[in-house]
Amino acid sequence: MADLSHYVQRFAKLRRDPAKGWPTVTRGKSPYKPLLLLAVLDQFEQGQITRNLIELSPDLGNLFDLYCATVLPEGMTCNIAMPFFHMQGEGFWHLVPLPGKEAFVASGRRLITESQLANNVAGARLDDDLFALLTVKEHRDVLRAALIDAHFDEQTQPLLWQRYATNQEAFLYSSELLAQARRQLKELQLPDAETSYTREARDQGFRRAVVVAYNHRCACCGLRIVTPGGHTAVEAAHIVPWHRTRNDHPTNGLALCRLCHWSFDEGLMSVNTNYRVLLSPQLTSHGNMPGFLSMLAGREIWLPQEDVLYPDPASLDWRNDNIFRKV
């Protein structure tokens, strides 16, 4: 196995774009390579990478976006494909072509959009020595510190360590939410969520649990769009609001697209205990033009594959009595 110090130096000396316009928090250079590696380290920490293949998955894309949002100005877009492709220039990151795409990938053609990557590569393989090092937490901690110290200023470094801690909290929370639901326990056997988890970790963990349960599909309209970089069209909605019950159980959640989520929050859309869509008369009053939403009335919702994750009927009844606009 290669010496850990070898990869510490490689991580600290990543080649980054020095063009004008990068913020001082990233030491005036592109932050995308180190942020992608921080996301990969999180996936190792969470046990999501068990073989030597880094896949362009929704989980990796979400972690990358969270790190980008931590250091970049609001509104600045992040394209995971750029560092995923260009990382191969560092020598320890090797693109793995899809069957039949070997010659195309070997040709050196730039694959700098998410679609180009998804259509041509299965993922990236690390040096075997680096992969072995990353399976050990102590080594991950050293390499994470090398990335953060070398590529970000002193004010930003604590924010990145906090992002890592929150990501781990959120993953643990979502995993326990799903595990408890699969054991068909309506009351979570967890420590008090408010004192054991930060609000951000709870929100992130609840969202992950619900979106995973519904496989990124809107329960009400059926919309499912997930980009190769992991951006999804759905969000997690509480059926009974958190502030009323402190209940993040997945059965108190629905995966909804942004339009359905807004309509649900406004009481203009709901779901009955037979798992069919309810629409408020207000959708078509006052000159409103609800478009395709008007076609959803009475349709059966898309449910999780596991029945233990189905929406809780008592929670639906509460919402329909207290929030849904019947008239």
The encoded tokens of residue 179 equal 């595990």
Q: For residue 304, what pLDDT is reported?
A: 97
The encoded tokens of residue 26 equal 């990233």
pLDDT digits (tens, 9 = 90+) for 275-286: 999 999 999 888
Kindly list the domain boundaries of the chain, sorted by start residue. Answer: 4-155, 164-322
- Considering the chain, what percentage of its residues have pLDDT values greater than 70? 96
The enclosing H or E element of 97 equals: strand 93-97
Q: Which residues pair with 269 in a beta bridge?
A: 279
pLDDT digits (tens, 9 = 90+) for 148-202: 999 999 999 999 999 999 999 999 999 999 988 887 654 545 545 556 789 999 9
Alpha carbon of 37 to those of 16, 43, 90, 103, 223: distances in Å?
13, 10, 12, 27, 31
Rg from Cα positions in the chain: 22
pLDDT digits (tens, 9 = 90+) for 54-106: 999 999 999 999 999 999 988 787 899 999 999 999 999 999 999 999 999 99
Strands 234-238 vs 253-257: parallel, antiparallel or unpaired: antiparallel
On average, the pLDDT of the chain sits at: 93
